[in-house]
Structure 1
Amino acid sequence: MVAVGFNELIDKLDHSASVQAAGIRRGYGGPPAREVSFTAGLTRMRCASLLKPLYAWVSAARVPDARWRELAEPAVVVSSNADTIGLWLGVGPRVILDDLRERTGVRWGLPNGDPSRFGSVEVTAAEVAAAYAVFAQSAAAGDAAAGEVLGWMRQVSETQAFGAREATRSPEAAVKCGWYGAPDETTLRTHAVALLPRTGTKVTVIVALTALPYTDARDRETYRTKVTQGHAVEDIHENLAGDLLRNLISTTHTELGHP
């Protein structure tokens, strides 16, 4: 389903930009399932940190409880790369992705080159929405690990949420964003997933992915220096992609039939 609203959002984008959005609304006892998806540019995009909650969820069955919480909570709440790597390499990339396929039906392969780069897995917004819908319904059905990870997503601070909660008009939404620009890319990736609170096993999931041109040599050098030194770069992503990301989320929210 393609909405006029999405077309309006990308009319003024650079031809080298890529954006995707997807949403799912479904659940037992609710209205008929509804799905929305939109793609402009690349058909698959690197996931940045968008899948960290899913990695944490399926890792729970393979890591001792105390160790799992020690790694998984900061991986989700503050998007800690070091703790995510602890899960990713400790459990094994192939094992994590195979477990996600078994749990969600969504198949993701290992990235080209260095498989330790968890953020290089390539996804579509529709795939991410489908996987998170299963995750959210598992939490609603009593999956303890899914429920805990979902709770951590509700603790993600506004500084790392890029206004996703405001875009869905749901202050209680569970959110995870990802932001990164690799040395081999001339774009910055800024992604978001939001899970809206609903009753029972009914879920609404909204995903927005962006990869926007970031080609100025001086800006890119400043960005790489900040990343290397461990400084926050969320402000750079906000200035480049924040408005677009929120508009993608709010348009998807509307297209799913929410008032």
Structure 2
Amino acid sequence: MRGVRFNELLDGLDPSASVQAAGIRRGYGGPPARAVNVRSGLARLRCASLLKPLYAWVSAARIPDADRWRRHAEPAVVVSSNTDTLSLWLAVGPRVILDDLHHRTGVAWAPPNGDPSRFGSVEVAAEEVATAYTVLAQAAAAGDPVAGTVLEWMRQVGAAQAFGVREAIGSPPAAIKCGWYGAPDETCLRTHAVAVLPRGGTRATVVVGMTALPYTDPRERETYQEKIATGLSVEAEHEKVAGTLLRGLMTTTLTELGHRRG
């Protein structure tokens, strides 16, 4: 029965948890288009670093110096550099980047309230993220060189920042981007992932998992913020809190899309 595995993943979640998953499979010459999405909790979540490849894609047309664009865009995607992302975000302008994404993908996102410079505080839904990345993937397949470059960078994202997603979905060449953060004003950790699977031609399969799970222990939160402040890695903490659920969301979404491994 459809939905049983999602129910198994979501049953027993803390009432304060928010979880979303979405997937899209479409493209000329393939099976009929198909979309899947599921949500428990909040309708929109802060995106953390999940949108960095999309920011890199649209900012290229706004930065005349291609070397300068690449100097910041590549580390923003490959190693999730916040400093380089911020350089693109502020040089082009948050509203311009998001307006350009709306024009290209049809997905409308707004700059965060309060401090527009916080690119990771844009609030999104998983199905919107899946839609935007599907457009990116099909643009690359149709010959957009910037989109192709961005997807290649996503394929270079290392295992330490991929939360085992490639292995879980059985696709070593998948283009991956994850986002992870727990702000001082939040009592949760946000851990998100998107995967673009290679399919050939102009076909595209994209899956997204997003989680915001309780993280309320005062000492753990203090230690986490100390690591953030000193530039230490916190991926292991996100793996402990959300890794298993995140991978389950991704694999179940692929199953619901009718994806066959191999």
What TM-score, normalized to structure 2? 0.98
User: Are 1:224 and 2:214 counterparts?
Assistant: no
Distance 2:135 2:213 in 1: 29
Q: Does 1:238 align with 2:239?
A: yes
Cα distance, 1:86 vs structure 2: 0.2
- 1:14-61 per-residue CA deviation (whole Å, 9 max, x = no partner) reads 111110000000001111000000000000000000000000000010
SS in 2 for 1:206: strand
* 1:44-97 C-alpha deviation (Å, 9 max, x unpaired): 000000000000000010111000000000000000000000000010000000
The residue identity in structure 2 corresponding to 1:165 is R
Structure 2 residue matching 1:61: 3-state secondary structure: helix
Note the C-alpha offset of 1:3.
Answer: 1.5
Distance 2:205 2:168 in 1: 14
Within the alignment, does 1:249 sit opposite 2:250 as a pair?
Answer: yes
Distance across 2 between alignment mates of 1:154 and 1:236:
24
What is the aligned partner in structure 2 of residue 133 from structure 1? 134
Report the counterpart of residue 75 of structure 2 in structure 1.
Answer: 74
Q: Which residue of 2 aligns with 1:5?
A: 5
Write the mapping of 1:30-49 to structure 2, written as runs, cut at 5 A.
Answer: 30-49=30-49
Name which of structure 1's ranges 4-13 and 79-88 shifts more when overlaid on structure 2: 4-13
The corresponding residue for 1:120 is: 121
Q: How does 1:157-176 map to 2 (within 5 A)?
A: 157-176=158-177
What is the match of residue 184 of structure 2?
Answer: 183
Residue matched to 1:62? 62
Q: Match of 1:248, as an amino acid?
A: L
Q: How many residues align?
A: 258
Cα distance in structure 2, aligned partners of 1:4 and 1:121: 31
The offset of 1:134, in angstroms, is 0.3
Q: Distance in 1 between matches of 2:50 and 2:85?
A: 12
**Letter in structure 2 aligned against 1:44:** R
2:18 is matched with: 18
Structure 1 length-normalised TM: 0.99
Aligned residue in 2 for 1:92? 93
Equivalents in 2 of 1:81, 1:152: separation in Å?
Answer: 16
Question: Structure 1 stretches of 5 or more lacking a match?
Answer: none
Q: Give the drift of 1:10.
A: 1.2
Equivalent residue number for residue 203 of structure 2:
202
Find the aligned partners of 1:222 and 1:252 in 2 and give their Cα distance: 34
Once superposed, which parts of structure 1, at least 4 consecutive aligned residues long, lie more than 6 Å away? none
Q: Which residue of 1 aligns with 2:144?
A: 143
User: Which AA in structure 1 matches 2:180?
Assistant: W
User: Secondary structure of 2:137's match?
Assistant: helix
Q: How far apart in 2 are the matches of 1:103 and 1:26?
A: 17
What SS does the corresponding residue of 2:61 show, helix, strand or coil? coil
State the one-letter code of the partner of 1:167.
Answer: A
Q: Secondary structure at the match of 1:39?
A: strand
Give 1:258 deviation, angstroms. 1.3
Instruction: Give % identity.
Output: 72
Q: Deviations over 1:159-198 (max 9, x none)?
A: 1000111121100000000000011110000000000001
RMSD of aligned residue pairs (Cα, Å):
0.7
Q: Determine if the alignment matches structure 1 residue 29 to structure 2 residue 64.
A: no
SS in structure 2 opposite 1:194?
strand
For 1:196, the aligned partner's letter is L
